[in-house]
């Protein structure tokens, strides 16, 4: 989100820059092709996430801090969400329907084994954003999931994971239907 704000500010500054022609100030016309695309907004409903609600909100905030092309927001009351987040007694998993849409399960089994709830939330949201598991992997890779071990509490995507999400959503326009990618990913 930080780059989007910076880019928007620079674009605004360029739009109001003035050139003098014939002693008169004339506003420079912005080039529509150079205007930054707005982030694709995806909503999530964490109403069924029980004791993991704050971890889900933090996981979404981490993605918002990390990428510019997509923004995760809580769904408004009565609004149909792109992402449903539920707590259950199984292992954490994500079921995608299309890119940016699906259901995340925050499984208590992993939490009981000592895995970090914020890392679980950010990891499962990563699947909805189009990222696969990268197992085995180091703690520095969010999508390494459980293979990083219970001592790993890193909830942040690495540079490659950020770039992949930017690529997945960077070219999508708000009115374009994303590709279908049905899958159940159990971590």
65 in catalytic set: no
Q: Residue 136 corresponds to which tokens in the numbers above?
A: 């085995």
Contact 1, 65 (CB under 8 A): yes
Mean per-residue pLDDT of the chain: 82
Beta-carbon-side half-sphere exposure of residue 125 (alpha carbons within 13 Å) = 34
pLDDT tens string 28-68: 444 545 545 678 999 999 999 999 999 999 999 999 999 99
Which residue, among 114, 168, 122, 167, has the nearest Cα to 141 in the 3D structure?
122
- Is the pTM for the entire model greater than 0.85? no
Per-residue model confidence as pLDDT tens digits over 63-90:
999 999 999 999 999 999 999 999 999 9
CA dihedral over 171, 173, 179, 182, signed as positive or negative: positive
Among candidate residues 124, 161, 164, 166, the one labeled active-site is 124
Instruction: Say if residue 7's pLDDT is above 60.
Output: no
Kindly report the backbone phi and psi dihedral angles of residue 83, in degrees, each rounded to the nearest multiple of 5, phi listed first.
-125, 125
């Amino acid at each position: 989100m930080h780059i989007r704000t910076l880019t928007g500010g620079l674009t605004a500054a360029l739009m109001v820059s003035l050139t003098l022609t014939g002693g008169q100030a004339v506003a420079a016309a912005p080039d529509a092709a150079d205007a930054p695309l707005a982030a694709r907004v995806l909503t999530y409903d964490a109403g069924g996430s029980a004791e993991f609600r704050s971890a889900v909100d933090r996981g979404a905030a981490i993605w918002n801090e990390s990428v510019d092309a997509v923004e995760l927001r809580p769904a408004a009351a009565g609004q149909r969400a792109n992402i449903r987040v539920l707590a259950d007694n199984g292992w954490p998993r994500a079921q995608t329907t299309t890119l940016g849409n699906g259901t995340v399960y925050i499984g208590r089994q992993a939490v009981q084994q000592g895995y970090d709830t914020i890392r679980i939330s950010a990891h499962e949201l990563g699947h909805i954003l189009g990222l696969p598991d990268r197992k085995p992997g180091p703690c520095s890779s969010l999508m390494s999931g459980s293979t990083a071990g219970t001592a790993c509490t890193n909830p942040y995507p690495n540079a490659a994971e950020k770039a992949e999400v930017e690529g997945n959503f960077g070219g999508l326009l708000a009115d374009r239907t994303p590709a279908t990618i049905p899958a159940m990913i159990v971590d």
